[in-house]
Structure 1
Amino acid sequence: MDNKINFLHEEYKSRINKVQDYIEANIEEELTVIKLAEVANFSPYHFHRIFSAMTGESLYQHIQRIRLEKSAYTLIANPKKSITEVAFECGFTNQASFARAFKKYFKVSAGEWRKNPGVYNSKNCKVESNSCKANSNFSKEESNLGKENVQEIPYNKDAAAKKLYWREKDMSNIKFNVEVKDIPELCVVYVRNTGPYKGNPAIFDRLFEKLFKWSRARGLMDFPETKTLTVYHDNPDITDENNLRISVCMTAPEDTQVDGEIGKMKISAGKYAIGHFEIKSDQFQEAWNAIYGDWLPRSGYQPDDGSCFELYLNDPNQHPENLHIVDIYVPVKPF
């Protein structure tokens, strides 16, 4: 009986994950409750209640929060876009409704936020509940991890025409370099977690243990060809820590069949800044800060839509200094 209950819980969680993945992969689509319920394979009548019970947010709250958090990120990451352009890009039907919702949530106007994002405090923000009719339209979220102190830098066409490789200075005793290149689409299987994760490596250990156990039983682990990574779906500078989503992943064939809590998604092909690091277990935040706070403002690039991720290249327990050899991937585009 307990096994059956566990199976059903994992199946429900898997379906909710699929809905979130669908939203992230279809930002340009008109997304309705009926469509999202179809993705989840639940009836529209029950879907809203199930979503709320599983996530702690109503469907309206979740989508509205994602819209607003994406817009907050975009306002800083893409300073050349007008506020109106950002509003439409994030799924709002008009600038006036966006302005009202943004100020209600962040306690400042979109213009004030763009000038001074530091006034934001996620713990003071709240999306109030509202009814979700079956024909309501939603947008999707593609927020990135990291700080948004991007400066406007002239685009160097000559440098951008070739592969860039940057040797960077030390930052907080971290030596790193960054290359910008195109990567192919990656198909991955994953286990997802929602909630705080900073300073808690046990979360990652638990998730990878679950993923490895599932993959090993199906003969999917073939190191070093198999790659392990963590995808960060939300920006911790914008999203409340209780809503932060991470997916620990392994590359897998596209025809891999998933079940229960194990999901499958694709990481978009495109141009990425790839930071190469050798760091201690408590230096991951410093590494992200090095990319966003040091390299990016001087690079001639700005963050592009898409999720950031960490690619793990070694077992730190086998390193003589217990260092993590890790690549941090950030989708970018020229200014």
Structure 2
Amino acid sequence: MITNKLVNQSIDYIMRHLDEEISIEDVADYCHFSKYYFSRVFKKETGESIYAFIKRLKMEQSALNLKIEKDKSITDIGYDYGYSPSNYSSAFKKHHNISPAEFRKSKNTTCVPHPFYQDKLAKFQSFEEYDQRILIQELDDFVVIYERYIGNYIELGKNWYDFTEKYKDYFKEDTLLIERFYDDPSITSLDQCLYDICMTVDKNCSLDNVTTIQGGKFALCRFDGLIQDIFAAFQGVFNIWLPDSGYEMDERYGLDIYRAIDWESMHVVMDLCIPIK
């Protein structure tokens, strides 16, 4: 878990400005520290230098764009993250071990390897089947207590248990449990996935780790099944539905809103929420 409040603020700053040239000095200045001191704090908390973190996020976010923005040219996606065509192709291949063109082609498929179960494939439904299940809704802002993690999503169950125990005194009848996810585990290394686990609270909550998740227009896909099958549902929405839906994902990040959880059977009902414009 990332416990340093300024490191969390710096990560938020970096993700808001990924399409710009961000320097270590920019991030340190935003947090009002010298770059040398803040670089040490950042690496201690995240396991990566600020420079490596920024570069990795640019490569991984651009890969997501290649997957879901199939009508946008590879050159333009590279430009969006500050790369010339030749530099982008070289940097992308160095990071992902595949060229941007080959990566995009590989995502036009009916299944993908399951990152959490190496002997399984995540199989997708048709666009029409997803489209029948997806609702477009405007969501209000959520005021939440949150804790941020970098690591394997497979640890979610334990992290959720610890989180709900720690904040059990803040539960009310209408409390929602929400995950905010920043990475696609089919792209990002499993031990580097960034995510927040959250619960809604009153806006006057005095805890330090309270933030507001921006609402707006979302595509909601209801999932009712075992936790191990969430990945396939998530990837189907991104690989099959979103590229042909006529919508674009905007700069906000995705949410999982839990509606019911049975931790004993690992069965959940949840809304997979993709921010769109």
SS of match in other structure, 2:159: helix
CA contact (8 A) 1:167 1:178 kept: no
Aligned to 2:118: none
Paired residue for 1:25? 16
Runs of 5+ unmatched residues, structure 1: 1-8, 124-146, 154-165, 170-175
Match of 2:176 in 1: 227
Residue 322 to residue 43, structure 1, CA distance change in 2 (3 Å): closer
RMSD: 3.5
* 1:202 paired residue number: 158
Give the equivalent residue in structure 1 for 2:143: 187
- Counterparts of 1:245-256 in structure 2, within 5 Å, are 245-254=194-203, 256=205
Counterpart-to-counterpart distance in 1, 2:180 and 2:156: 16
For normalisation by structure 1, the TM-score amounts to 0.67
Say if 2:42 and 2:49, in contact at 8 Å, map to a contact too: yes
Q: Does the C-alpha gap of structure 1 residues 283 and 84 become closer, same or farther in structure 2, counting only changes over 3 Å?
A: closer
Select which of 72, 86, 89 maps to 1:96.
86
Work out whether residues 316 and 325 of structure 1, in 8 Å CA contact, stay in contact via their aligned partners in 2. no
1:113 corresponds to which residue? 103
Match of 2:218 in 1: 272
Q: CA deviation at 1:231?
A: 0.9
**Aligned CA distance change for structure 1 residues 181 and 43 (closer, same or farther; 3 Å):** same
Deviation at 1:235? 0.9
Cα distance, 1:99–1:287 mapped onto 2, change above 3 Å:
closer
The offset of 1:60, in angstroms, is 1.1
What is the distance in 1 between the residues matched to 2:42 and 2:77?
A: 27
Residue pair 1:303, 1:330 contacting (<8 A) in 2 also: yes
One-letter amino acid of the structure 1 residue matched with residue 97 of structure 2: K
Tell me whether 1:310 sits opposite 2:256 in the alignment.
Answer: yes
So what's the TM-score if we normalise by structure 2? 0.79
Q: Residue in 2 aligned with 1:326?
A: 270
Which whole-Å CA distance do the structure 1 matches of 2:89 and 2:235 have between them? 30
CA contact (8 A) 1:188 1:267 kept: yes
How far, CA to CA, are the matches of 1:82 and 1:290 in structure 2? Answer: 22
Distance 1:79 1:293 in 2: 10
Rounded Cα–Cα distance in structure 1 between residues aligned with 2:201 and 2:180:
15
> How far off its partner does 1:26 sit?
3.8
- Given the alignment, which residue of 218, 225, 230 partners 1:284? 230
C-alpha change, 1:73 and 1:40, in structure 2 (3 Å) is same
The aligned counterpart of 2:186 is 237
> Comparing 194-203 with 71-80, which one deviates more in the overlay?
194-203
Change (3 A) 1:85 1:167: closer
Show CA shifts across 1:67-86 (max 9, x none).
Answer: 00111111121012122221
The percentage of aligned residue pairs carrying the same residue is 26
> Is the 1:186–1:268 Cα contact (8 Å) retained in structure 2?
yes
Cα deviation code 1:212-259 (max 9, x no counterpart): 15xx3xxx54321x3220111111011101101111112245564443
